[in-house]
Amino acid sequence: MNQLVRLDVAGEVATITLDSPENRNALSRVLVTQLSESLQSAGEDGAVKVVVLTSSQRVFCAGADLSEAVSEGMDEGTRAMIALFRWIVALPKPVVARVEGPVLAGGIGIIGACDAVVASTEASFAFTEVRLGLTPAVISLTVLPRLADRAAALTFLGGGKFGGEEAARIGLVTRAVAPEGVDDAMAQVVGAFCKGSPQGLRETKGLLNARLLTSIDERGDELARLSARLFGSEEARAAMRAFLEKRAGG
């Protein structure tokens, strides 16, 4: 099996790196499995206080793996994504995402689950589902609690691209800084979290995420079914095939 996710531990910080350049870190079955396993390992490491989630390339995550969705359907894939989001939300250690390039659809669900997100002003975000006959069903679990209703309506229904500064303004990311400032901003956020005691971090994160975790548990199955049904519809399948053909043709 190809290694699409790397886990590196240095002192109190575990860094998980998405490394699947062939499909722009799309959420394939293998990548989701390996990312979940890496989160579990970091969570169980007694020396680790903070987990950093990043990518080896500029693209953070292209969302669902559409080639798998077309060929295999998304009955299992939607549930696997919800389980991944739950891992991040329930992990007893803060998870900080570093975003320097594009994040689409399901990838935004990941950063919505994180406790803090540092983004470059050159990063870009888009809820592309509506343009493919889909809806941001499963990712709404982690994204909607971060956004004001008006911002959610504009970004979900419009499906257009917006930048890091706008993402910070509407609450999707914690901080947006110039590209040359990302290292310093990450060091500040991670350093602040590392000052907490393990028990303090665990209990405070649990306090902050209690409502979100309950929502995932109560609505996860319903939204997984909705998402899988739409992925399986002829309208969405035709749109996804057209997208894949266009991408293959350059």
Could you tell me which residues come within 8 angstroms of residue 208 by beta carbon, excluding any fewer than 6 positions away?
115
SS3 at position 245: helix
Instruction: State the catalytic residue, choosing from 22, 37, 100, 129.
Output: 129
Q: How many CB atoms lie within 10 A of CB 33?
A: 16
> Is 218 an annotated catalytic residue?
no
Residue matched to tokens 């941001």: 136
For 116-151, the DSSP string reads EEEEETT-EEE--GGGGT---TTTHHHHGGGS-HHH
Q: What are the C-alpha distances in Å from 208 to residues 42, 80, 111, 205, 212? A: 20, 24, 16, 5, 8
Alpha helices (runs of H) in the chain, residue ranges in sequence order:
29-44, 66-72, 75-90, 106-113, 140-143, 149-158, 164-169, 182-194, 198-231, 234-248
Active site residues per annotation: 129
